[in-house]
A and B are shown apart, each in its own frame.
Chain A
């Protein structure tokens, strides 16, 4: 791992008697898209707010770009961009004015015209915030997070309120932001988003990190696998299938054999069928997604 841009170690935070973070540790490397995911109330937003200097941690340490987010807030804030989950703008403020206003807060703002075009806001320059649709508001918030040319961008619930096409477009733009060298921290409870976008992710649950790694690693670590099912062209001994490496179960119903397993179990099964010269029909493979892994890791339905 290259020099970490964000280092969080043993972060603790309680609101009154309610403990929200109970020793959260993770690192984010330069130029990656890092996802923080978990159910509502897991402490995701509190964690990023500690990184942004909006909240003071009760214990542990946080360094962003080598700076203490609370004590060196002034230095840090001009180098990061923030999209907050619940923060609106004045209803009468127009899109172009909002960008110009926030641009004036930063020492090296980016080109506003380009930003407006990039985020599909060029036709809405003169539209007041109060008249923007949910999707346009979301895009404006992201644009505001990027207007100061940040080194790190924190995006909290990035695609809330966007339609499916809008979400995909936004993912593509976030990839472009990453490719331009910006480190992105993404807070999300959408597994497909994290799977599609994040280089690495950490799963928060009950104030602790229960797993972290690439989306693939998270799926592998959750211990859940997939299923492979087919109709055999001839007699097949279920015990033989069950004995293959990685296979965790074999069921038969209506002449259909369903094999579940983890790791390379599917290759083992197809290998066996090939050695037997057995022709099968209706072959289906179902791989588990991060969504399934998430449920397995946190024990929550999303």
Chain B
């Protein structure tokens, strides 16, 4: 029996579908202090004074902390490998408030009601400052978001706080201006994407307590337990050896929980009071002070010849870090590297970027991590170029797309060892019946049916940085324990890593007990982000199993008294063909009996390359020219994630990512009041797709084989959010001739654009 490439049920599935108490909020001990935060009503202000007198009189209030009470070392909450590229620009509570919702005070009380009542009674005097809200005017603005002296950047990412500059970068390949000058057609466009919210169903939440050894234990809904341990050490000025992080089941993350959003507050309360403490962010707080996608403005210049040869792409991105630089310097890199590298024929390419501070909510990591924004801009521009050339946008891509065997000059010169993008295009066209549907049909009811296309890529882990480790132990009746440090957040990595281990060890899946994550017990893993888990941690599983097999073979051979070279291991027994044998259960049991060694292996894996998965997405829309309403009636996706490890889970990842991408394209608005308060701070105003908003989403896999990946696998999780926005806008362009450049495209935008024609 083999498990890889099968639709295996998730190992925790039945607990989840029967509603077992497995999430952070379900596990919090009774009697924990309830923690809430008083948040700033101003986008930019200084705290003059906080009068706690009345608040402290509320029965049940235990403690109220303000900026004077917290450690004064700056840190970043970005869950990244040290030294983090994100500047150290935060305090737990700061006297300077840099966005609406910045925390002013931490309130801990016996009950939620007491905490909330005390919050209402805190009297704060603010010195209100003029906010810097427009990120296009942030650079060298007289309003400085981070004037503090102890601001520091650990990495050289071009940070200059005095200029509101979080980071900058430039990459040039070939003679960009020369190629543009020689191009027969040059298209220049500016695109704008918003600070989308991950909107995972479980909001940020954490509880903490002091254990029997006197150590701070933090149980949290996080994607990055080991980073949380280090960051809490920084923030609380505590030694890391005194901190333990446990990750239970997580109710979704999508990158939101790659930042330390909620952990610090209860941890600080527990450190100060010695008592268990719990914080649960409201949905509103999750919207207003979470870790959303970086808002970006991207200028694209494409130079091409009339036959459709794309010669050069010049891309400049301005990114809004907001109040804090979490993930600012790193998301921006993907804008260029992942978008430009889709085109293998470029003679020249340039990517420039600036990430700036403003007085809006600090951004973070959201599935796609910059690639989503960059691919939207480049793919939308390529669709416009196709229209301008009068060429089928699929054909234009077929002429120019990256192909297996090429060196990707804009992708750190990595070789493209596994790429089925060409086959994905072929497959998607077949699925969509593109030839017949392109560009549009007008239905009897006046609606327009049209199709649009986009390509996408992502990485598989961060090359040379991400580390995945697993430990596998053989136990006394021949079953294995698989300890992982990566975080299953619903994606199913506990299951797919078990599948790989079962195949490598040639055993039944139920002989592998999987467990993650506890920083005291799990082997180190950077965490589940950057599409790393299948590719990086998966390879750690493969290598660990290889080593463990050798140990089992050696011990088995010794036990039956034959030279190891003559013995074989088939997953159930060590044997000499036609001769003596000993079962795995006997080997396992013997290793527990005092005269032998317990058999276990633990190998860490890192990769010098980050092989991209690829895909083609095609949207078929129904557009009502009277109302401007656009409905995605069908979405066809052909995906090359290398070997598909779990056919069900990869499919659901793809369907879910596409749904989020459709939301980004058509529904998910992010607007602020003139004073900087986020308006779209609930599911009433921030509309994520419901069942009624989505038509069919169809997925097929066109696998290449990645030689450096486990079983030939690459990544899937982030890639799949990248095609809907450009594909849908491409379909709108094909339906109406109207090109839109700002997301989301709302019915009123379409209707108004069409009205202009009637004038």
Q: Do A and B bind? A: no
User: Which of B's residues lie within 8 Å of A, judged by CB?
Assistant: none
